[in-house]
């Protein structure tokens, strides 16, 4: 059971490392200057997709319950058992607390109700959705990101794993008039979608 605990910890670390490592910028500069007109139609709030939230809640609950039952059965040290259970719960909490808010002045990304990234709207020059491959784009992978290019050349990345891609694209079109160069999918052959 200690091996199972170690595997859970290693897989969690790898998952979040891949979300950082698996990223490549497109060669086409149009992705970084595709904002045509900024007009915040109304305040936009993007929350985790309801079906995904329900699935993640059920799977996280089952995973924690099964892990704790097996850890009790095999006599795993209490500190290890509860640390791994807390890690699973923390990953769930991060995913379910992700939120993107768009108002007249800023685009704000937040998670865990504490960590916020605020980007002034008047500095946004380009925006696109990045995914390592199309399969992961549809499966809520941590490698799916909203990349925002600012006027100073800075690029912010917001993980979109728990959001509906359709709602993100609608937000981009309605408020930033982005219709071209809105999706970049990196594959082995580096094709641009």
Q: Which of 1, 12, 18 is nearest to 136 (CA)?
A: 18
**Strand, helix or coil for residue 156:** strand
Tens-of-pLDDT digits for all 193 residues of the chain? 889 899 999 999 998 898 888 888 999 999 999 999 998 887 689 999 999 999 999 999 999 999 999 999 999 999 999 999 999 999 999 999 999 999 989 999 999 877 899 999 999 999 999 998 888 888 888 889 999 999 888 999 999 999 999 999 999 999 999 999 999 998 754 444 4
Q: Which of 161, 163, 170 is nearest to 127 (CA)?
A: 170
Where b means 16+ CB within 10 Å and e means fewer, 17-40 reads: eebeebeeebeeeebbebbeeeeb
H or E segment and range at residue 44: strand 44-46
H or E segment and range at residue 155: strand 155-159
Q: What pTM was estimated for this model as a whole?
A: 0.86
HSE (CB half, 13 Å, CA atoms) of 137?
Answer: 18
DSSP classification of residue 55? H
The dihedrals phi and psi of 106, each to the nearest 5 degrees, come to: -140, 155
Sign of the Cα pseudo-torsion (190, 126, 14, 81, in order): negative
What are the chain's domains? Answer: 2-185 (2.30.29.30)
């Amino acid at each position: 059971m200690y091996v199972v605990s170690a595997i859970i910890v290693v897989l969690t670390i790898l998952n979040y490392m891949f979300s950082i490592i698996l990223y490549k910028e497109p060669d086409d500069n149009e992705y970084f200057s595709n904002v045509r007109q900024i007009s915040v139609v109304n305040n936009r709030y993007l929350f985790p997709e309801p079906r995904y939230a329900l699935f993640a809640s059920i799977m996280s609950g089952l995973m924690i319950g099964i892990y704790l039952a097996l850890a009790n059965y095999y006599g795993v040290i209490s500190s290890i058992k509860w640390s791994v259970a807390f890690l699973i719960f923390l990953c769930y909490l991060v995913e379910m607390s992700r939120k993107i808010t768009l108002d007249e002045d800023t685009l704000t990304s937040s998670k865990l109700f504490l960590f916020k990234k605020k980007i002034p709207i008047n500095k946004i020059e380009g925006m696109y959705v990045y995914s390592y491959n199309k399969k992961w784009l549809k499966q809520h992978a941590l490698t799916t990101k909203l990349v925002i290019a600012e006027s100073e050349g800075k690029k912010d990345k917001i993980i979109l794993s728990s959001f509906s891609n359709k709602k993100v694209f609608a937000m981009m079109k309605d408020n930033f008039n982005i219709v071209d160069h809105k999706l970049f999918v990196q594959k082995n052959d580096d094709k641009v979608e």
